[in-house]
Amino acid sequence: MRYLLIILSLVFCQMGFAQNTAVSTNETLKFTAAYNMSGIMTDLAEVSMETGLVKTSKATLLRLRLTATTYSKWDSFFKIRDLYESYVSPTTLTPYLHKRDINEGGYYKFMQYKFQHKSKTIASTKKKRRGDGTIWEENKSLSVGSSTNDIVTSIYKIRNLNLDEAVKGKTFPMTIIFDNKEFKASVVYLGTETISTGIGKKLCHKLAISVNNSTVLKGSNDNLLWLTADANKIPVHAKFKIAVGNGELKIKSASGLKN
């Protein structure tokens, strides 16, 4: 369960992005996260993706906020309260700050990235809880590529790809920074498919995802994503395979859309 939002982000990464034409400033998407337990796909948690404007002394930024919360009946078994958020340019989705706060069954981890685009570096802060309950902290300066994004920003950037002009088999490269490491991955365009979703029957762009040297996402055609084939490119369904099993994300509702 710790990897639900990681997987979502690996599925949705940055590839040849220009301007933000798909993501509004007050959008809310809600998903059901399911995992294969003893051969049965079981709904375990809700994943929410929300956007909103935040004004600072220097600029107005778009906050991209993702949360994962186990349904109450599963809290006694393995309680999850995860928060991922990034602060980006509303027009280009260029990231300036990323935070990740993980609370899962007694496990705690915090990550923060401050992007310094001119020097192509990131000021990284990492915190974890020791076995005795105390917190240790590590600070680093990381050198990154000019197209590297945090996982939350990457999720939203894929929705601005011009998939209407993609041909079947086209491959898009991507780079994500996660746990202070850059990961190279690729998305293969598989064409269009009409599927039934929680927000109705939708014509979708279908994509296959693979990640080089990943300890989280396994295989290539085992990891699939469907985005609505319209101006919003809403992620409505994802199937993923990890080292300890497989699962799905299915959309439940969508509001505040840009188009």
Could you tell me what percent of the chain has a pLDDT over 70? 89
pLDDT at 12: 45
For residue range 132-159, list pLDDT tens digits in order: 888 999 999 999 998 898 989 988 988 8
Dist CA 139 CA 126 (whole Å): 6
Dist CA 49 CA 27 (whole Å): 8
| CATH number (domain holding residue 126) | 2.40.360
For residue range 95-114, list pLDDT tens digits in order: 999 999 999 888 999 999 99
Dihedral pair phi/psi, residue 232, rounded to 5°: -85, -25
For residue 167, the 8-state DSSP code is P
Q: Do the beta carbons of residue 63 and residue 55 sit within 8 Å?
A: no
Whole-model pTM over 0.95:
no
Buried b (16+ CB within 10 A) or exposed e, 231-247: ebbbbbbbbbbbeeebb
Average pLDDT, the chain: 88
3-state secondary structure of 73: helix
State the greatest distance between any 2 C-alpha atoms of the chain, in Å, as a whole number: 55
- Domain with 185, as residue range(s), is 4-255
Query: How many domains, the chain?
Result: 1
